[in-house]
Amino acid sequence: MRAIGHFIGGKEVKGSSGRTADVFEPMTGEVQAKVALASKAEVRAAVENARAAQPEWAATNPQRRARVMMKFVELVQRDYDKLAELLAREHGKTVPDAKGDIQRGLEVAEFACGIPHLMKGEYTEGAGPGIDIYSMRQALGVVAGITPFNFPAMIPMWKFAPAIACGNAFILKPSERDPGVPMKLAELMMEAGLPAGILNVVNGDKEAVDAILDDPDIKAVGFVGSTPIAQYIYERAAQTGKRCQCFGGAKNHAIIMPDADMDQTVDALIGAGYGSAGERCMAVSVAVPVGKTTADRLMEKLIPRVESLKIGTSVDPSADYGPLVTREAVEKVKNYIDIGIKEGATLAVDGRGFKMQGYEKGFYLGGSLFDNVTKDMRIYKEEIFGPVLSVVRAHDYSEALALPSEHDYGNGVAIFTRDGDAARDFAAKVNVGMVGINVPIPVPIAYYTFGGWKKSGFGDLNQHGPDSIRFYTKTKTVTSRWPSGVKEGAEFSIPLMK
């Protein structure tokens, strides 16, 4: 059986803690690998390697750092198919979906190739008599990322690509459920010319997370996962003086106006609600039709589409989605469906009884659809993270706007309409971090920034785009005056730039 250790000091090393976790193949339900779970000492070894290597890397000019990132992009593209199949077999998402996971991460690596420009500071000549002022961006040192199971390629690259391009050394703690691709990405970074110790991967659980949060040499931590853990990491990192950005759960709404193109809307809801078995932080999990006629039209078209979803293996090219990541994930989603029924919601499509012929031990679940969900129900308030879509009927536009605006989560939202005024008003007023107009999953492109509001995000700076450069650097401002511009005599008042 395959054994997965850690990637420290430029090479894979065996775990020494004596603790391991099972890595399943979700489509068969079988254990395919054992991954080592790092001890505090192993995390510290990674940090020491990173700390020793970082100063020289930071002193490397940004153009040369960019060349390493360019080569990395080339190597990932070379191994695209192999990485996608490995990802699919460990996570459960289909191979085409896995390729999308890799591609969206790769786009941030491409953005990081522009680091010579992105790290440029400011300069003002003659700010005062003989005085020039300029600023520079400098690396923080050793930084870390704690990333989730649902995007084992994309989110690690969102974290380490800009951080490393800025001149930092990086400690990656990926999910122990699907660690294979993060380990391969570290190998490809080495092949691209990254010095040993600049990217280290420590696999592990809470013990490794706490070791990262408590280590005094780690200056910043980025996290993506559930809201309770995001809040825990944010608070603990703050106590140890670390810069921190944490992104949590979501309950993404799609508002369907009476004038919406209903066929386009249903296509969008099917893809965004059930793609990747709903295991996306940007999945649409709540549909809000405005008015009874709109709701009835929506359900008429939506029910047969959900019933006809094709669930298949991760390597079935014709499958709409594959299995969930673990058996526990399946049981959690089934429990939420039970709760929805008890709360009085109408279960229009029930996916709990789905069995995959020939793969009965796999972690499969059919698509489920609720109607008549109300905002006081748990299935509306809480993130289900599975192939379940809830329909909440709104009487008018104002009620529809209030639903996502007042919800505890504020990651993404979408509106489907042909009315430009309604779309513009909605985008301006809705209390959510990312907005789509006739776009169901409004994940910004790499040179814009990604981040949710309210309980979906903790911290002042978001992921990728310009915010990532700000997060992984500190600004130093220099005020200079040369002897020819110095007046004789001491100055006891605050200097003025006259």
| Same structural domain, 258 and 181 | no
**What's residue 386's pLDDT?**
97
Residue 372 inside a domain? The answer is yes
Q: Are residues 216 and 306 both part of a single domain? A: no
Could you tell me what percent of the chain has a pLDDT over 70?
97
Rg, Å, the chain Cα set: 25
Same domain, 159 and 172: yes
- Note down the domain range covering 188: 2-248+456-478
Secondary structure string (H, E, C) spanning the chain:
CEEECEEECCEEECCCCCCEEEEEECCCCEEEEEEECCCHHHHHHHHHHHHHHHHHHHHCCHHHHHHHHHHHHHHHHHCHHHHHHHHHHHHCCCHHHHHHHHHHHHHHHHHHCCHHHHCCCCEEEEEECCEEEEEEEEECCEEEEECCCCCCCHHHHHHHHHHHHCCCEEEEECCCCCCHHHHHHHHHHHHCCCCCCCEEECCCCHHHHHHHHHCCCEEEEEEECCHHHHHHHHHHHHHCCCEEEEECCCCEEEEECCCCCHHHHHHHHHHHHHHHHHCCCCCEEEEEEECHHHHHHHHHHHHHHHHCCCECCCCCCCCCECCCCCHHHHHHHHHHHHHHHHHCCEEEECCCCCCCCCCCCCCCCCCEEEECCCCCCHHHHCCCCCCEEEECCECCHHHHHHHHHHCCEECEEEEECCCHHHHHHHHHHCCCCEEEECCCCCCCCCCCCECCEECCEECCCCECCHHHHHHCEEEEEEEEECHHHCCCCCCCCCCCCC
Asked if the structure places residue 442 within a domain, the reply is no
Q: Are residues 233 and 352 in the same domain?
A: no
Read off the CATH number of the domain in which 298 is found: 3.40.309.10
Quick check: is 498 in a domain?
A: no
Confidence (pLDDT) at 498? 60
d(CA 71, CA 190): 10
pLDDT at 129: 86
Same domain, 244 and 276: no
Q: Are residues 16 and 105 in the same domain?
A: yes
Phi-psi region of 385 (alpha: psi -120 to 50; beta: other; left: phi over 0): left
Which pLDDT score, from 0 to 100, does residue 483 have?
76
Residue 292 above 80 pLDDT?
yes
Q: Which of 5-19, 180-194, 470-484 has the lowest mean pLDDT?
A: 470-484
- Is 491 inside a domain boundary? no
pLDDT value of position 1: 83
**Whether pLDDT at 206 is above 90:** yes
**Domain-located, residue 489:** no
For position 488, what pLDDT does the model report?
A: 64
338 φ, ψ (degrees, to nearest 5): -60, -45
Residue 319 pLDDT greater than 90, yes or no: yes
Whether 446 is in a domain gets the answer: no
* Residue among 331, 74, 40 nearest 209 (CA): 40
Q: Decide: pTM greater than 0.85.
A: yes
Active site members: 281
pLDDT given for residue 212 in this prediction: 97
Digit-coded pLDDT (tens) for 114-127: 999 999 999 999 99
Q: Does residue 493 lie within any of the structural domains?
A: no
pLDDT interval class at 485 (50, 70, 90): low
Q: Looking at residues 149-158, what average pLDDT do you find?
A: 97
Same domain membership, residue 140 and residue 95: yes
Q: What is the pLDDT of residue 130?
A: 85
pLDDT at site 482: 85
Q: Are residues 189 and 290 in the same domain?
A: no
* pLDDT at residue 454 tops 90: yes
Claim to verify: residue 233 and residue 299 sit in the same structural domain: no
- Which tops the pLDDT comparison, 1 or 329? 329
> Quick check: is 484 in a domain?
no
Q: What is the pLDDT of residues 250-280, one digit of tens each?
A: 999 999 999 999 999 999 999 999 999 999 9
Look over the chain and give the mean of its residue pLDDT values, rounded to a whole number: 95
CB atoms within 10 A of CB 120: 12
pLDDT digit string, tens, across residues 321-350: 999 999 999 999 999 999 999 999 999 999
Predicted pLDDT of residue 495: 67
Assess whether 393 and 467 both reside in one domain: no
Q: pLDDT tens for residues 390-428?
A: 999 999 999 999 999 999 999 999 999 999 999 999 999
> Which percentage of the chain shows pLDDT scores above 90?
95
Lowest mean pLDDT of 208-222, 294-308, 419-433, 483-497, name the range.
483-497
pLDDT of 497 strictly over 90:
no
Shared domain for 256 and 243, answered yes or no, is: no
Same-domain status, 131 and 279: no
CATH assignment at residue 234? 3.40.605.10
Number of domain units in the chain:
2
Which tokens belong to 214? 């408590």
pLDDT at 90 exceeding the cut of 90 = yes
Give mean pLDDT, residues 377-393.
98
